A and B are shown apart, each in its own frame.
Chain A
Amino acid sequence: MIFIKYFYRLDEIENYCITFVVLLTTGGFKSKTPLMLTINSHPATGHYFSRIKKTFAVTKCGAWVCLSIVLVFNSCRVSLIADRDEVFIEHVLETALVVDAFYLQLMSADTSQIQYSTFSDNWNNAELEIRQLRLMAEAHPLNRESSEICSLLLETFIKYKQQHQKNNFYPPALLPLHRDRLAEYFIALLSVEKSKELKNQKP
């Protein structure tokens, strides 16, 4: 009785499965033979037993099949892609803010002041943020798409950094274009993350 009382606290589905196991192991289901199963009720579990105090005309095989299907499907979940990660989404937004603020700073600077040395710290900070983002994406299993997008973002960002370093100048006409392009990578990452299922979410 204590054993049953313990199970009574479990989810509905587990309750039903346990009922089935009890019936199957005690011979509650006889092949093609209807059987009256009577179990004395207990003050604490009377309601539980009243459910199974009835006539069963189910074959033993059928009951096993039904129980197996419920057990298999209840623990089964298709995983093609990682679950949505709210921490990752927050980090994407933070990185996007760092990169955008940096480009805004570049755009508002005088043409004569757009030298690499003036902005080297900003370049390095933003690059670090993007690298961290890629690490976070790669750390998750089934997250190949997000880590590939992060790699392409990093590749593009490093290219702009190296061009600035090499020329010691950033053409002002290209700044808004590059800013928009980098923002597109963050939009792609957020769109992917938004489309994913939340962990333990029932579709």
Chain B
Amino acid sequence: MNINFEEIIKGLTQAMQGHLSAGVDEVKTYATRFTERRQKRLTEIARLYADKIITADQMREELEDEGRLLEAQLIAIHAIAKAAAQKAANAAINFLTDYFIQWIKPF
């Protein structure tokens, strides 16, 4: 049996790369969007405090809430990265299965 390892490695890299780069794009898009929205909220909190609409304690509470939200968003990014890694690993497994099916096919 002649197994072309070069072909296998090339195929595996291609199969995984597509999913991983898609995952990176997904994380980038999500992070960019939530950062923009956060910036707007922080500006609004600063404005409310500067205009004396909210007290220093209220501002502190608001910033604490923003911190909690950031925690949730980082958890979301972690999950998106995990999903991309899972897709890449499964794509690699599917590539290997398909490769070896080609071996069996003549029979």
Contact = CB atoms under 8 A, between A and B. Distances in A.
A70 B19 CA distance: 23
Question: A interface, how many residues as a size bin?
Answer: 35 or more
A182 to B, nearest CB: 9
Contacts of A52: 107
Contacts of A171: 53-54, 58
A141 B83 CA distance: 14
A69 B44 contact: no
A177 B68 contact: no
Max chain A C-beta neighbours (<10 A), residue from B72, B84, B86: B72
B104 A81 contact: no
B80 A192 contact: yes
B107 A19 contact: yes
Max chain A C-beta neighbours (<10 A), residue from B26, B48, B87, B104: B104
Given A146-B79, A187-B34, A16 B105 contact: yes
Contacts, number: 143
A196 interface: yes
Interface string B14-32: 0100010001001000100
Interface residues of B, number: 49
A77 B104 contact: no
A100 interface: no
Nearest to B38: A184
A141 to B, nearest CB: 14
Max chain B C-beta neighbours (<10 A), residue from A16, A23, A58: A16
A140 to B, nearest CB: 12
30 contacts: A19-B104, A52-B107, A66-B104, A67-B104, A73-B93, A79-B86, A80-B82, A146-B79, A148-B72, A152-B71, A153-B72, A171-B53, A173-B48, A174-B48, A174-B58, A181-B66, A184-B37, A184-B69, A184-B72, A185-B69, A185-B72, A188-B72, A189-B76, A191-B30, A191-B80, A192-B79, A192-B83, A195-B84, A196-B83, A203-B87
